[in-house]
């Protein structure tokens, strides 16, 4: 996960985009965060208990999913 936008930055970007009314960017940022975690789990064989940027993988996934759900950003 080196040389790429970090999870903290993606989460911050998603929240800021939502505040500005840009739901597409908010959704894309949260989705990209989930994708980055999935890639790390597959490529680096990390587990839900491991820490990325000071937070467990499981908590990162929860944050992104709850953000999408609570703001009605899930695509049907």
Q: How far is CA 35 from CA 19, 20, 62, in A?
A: 23, 23, 13
Look up the pTM and report it: 0.91
Split at pLDDT 50, 70, 90, the class of 4 is low
3-state secondary structure of 52: strand
pLDDT in tens, 10-56: 999 999 999 999 999 999 999 999 999 999 999 999 999 999 999 99
State how far the Cα of 5 lies from the Cα of 15, in Å rounded to an integer.
15
Q: Where are the domains of the chain?
A: 7-70
């Amino acid at each position: 996960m080196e040389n790429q936008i970090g999870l903290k930055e993606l989460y911050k970007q998603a929240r800021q985009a939502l505040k500005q009314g840009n739901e597409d960017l908010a959704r894309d940022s949260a989705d990209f965060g989930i994708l980055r975690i999935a890639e790390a789990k597959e490529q680096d064989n990390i587990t839900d208990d491991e820490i990325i940027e000071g937070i467990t993988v499981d908590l990162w996934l929860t944050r992104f999913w709850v953000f999408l759900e609570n703001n009605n950003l899930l695509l049907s």
